[in-house]
Amino acid sequence: MKDIQDTTGIQAAIIEAFNFRHACKVFDPERKISEPEFATILEAARLSPTSFGHEPFKILMIQTPEKRELLREFSWGANGMMNGTTGQLGTASHFGIILASTAQTMTAGSDYLQDFYRQVKQLPDEVIEIFNGAYGNFQQSDHKITTDREISDWAGKQAYIVLANMMTTGALMGIDSCPIEGFQMDATSQALEEQFGVDPKLYKPAVMFAFGYRAADPEFPKTRRSMKDTVSWF
Ligand SMILES: Cc1cc2nc3c(=O)[nH]c(=O)nc-3n(C[C@H](O)[C@H](O)[C@H](O)COP(=O)(O)O)c2cc1C
């Protein structure tokens, strides 16, 4: 692959942001992300692409220390148990969970989707019929996504795109982040239902995230496979 001349400097800025981003384990608890900057991160989430444009996710922001502590026991990837700190839960400026929609709303033909097509996508009835047919075929035949688990896993995939866009947006503004999958699914679902009023029939936890400013530089340098081992061209 030939090098492309970076006439605008945008390419360098993007690669710099990707090198800057690392999975931040401990944030500086004194430094808070400004409201407009975090609003930009959330806007990147909201504008993220999703399969069929169904937006099968929701974001819960968990900001009070009391609410964060409700997650500590079973969130081993965010509670600092690996490094003897209070972890991302204790130090992040912003902490949240992306929830993935379930089969109740994301099964083709659901009442929710009919309403969503009309209210959000502003589609006329004849186009809604086309969407119902195409999405039904996609679920039942093309990808065979029909069980509760398959549908919420599919929604979770969309949640990860949202997460990636949030982290890149943060990195472009010099804001650190950490994606967090280190939590017990059942205990998290239960806490979400009992403590945060999340209806488990509608949403399952997909992934957590933390944003803030690093307390110290990363302990280890970034390692990746070579481009040759990562990409095959035909
Ligand atoms: C989906 C996902 C889940 C992750 N879960 C955790 C986690 O629970 N706790 C943590 O400290 N890091 C977590 N990580 C960070 C990864 O370990 C890290 O991204 C990877 O080792 C590469 O390092 P880098 O991000 O610093 O370049 C997660 C990363 C991803 C993408």
> What is the domain-level CATH number for residue 52?
3.40.109.10
Domain membership flag for residue 137: no
Domain membership flag for residue 32: yes
Split at pLDDT 50, 70, 90, the class of 6 is confident
Mutation test residue for ligand 1: of 86, 178, 184, 188, the one with most atoms within 8 Å of CB: 178
23 lines ligand 1 (CB under 6 A): yes
Domain membership flag for residue 190: yes
Domain membership flag for residue 127: no
Domain membership flag for residue 140: no
Q: How many domains does the chain have?
A: 1
Domain membership flag for residue 222: no
Distance, in Å, from the CA atom of 212 to the CA atom of 170, rounded to the nearest integer, reads 9
Dihedral of CA 145/207/83/191: which sign? negative
82 lines ligand 1 (CB under 6 A): no
pLDDT of 13-49, one tens digit each? 999 999 999 999 999 999 999 999 999 999 999 999 9
For residue 60, the enclosing domain spans 25-107+146-213
Atom index in ligand 1 nearest the CA of residue 223 equals 27
Distance, in Å, from the CA atom of 50 to the CA atom of 52, rounded to the nearest integer, reads 6
Ligand 1: centre distance to CA 25 (Å): 9
Domain membership flag for residue 200: yes
Domain membership flag for residue 202: yes
pLDDT of 66-109, one tens digit each? 999 999 999 999 999 999 999 999 999 999 999 999 999 999 99
Whether the CB-CB separation of 162 and 98 falls below 8 Å is answered with yes
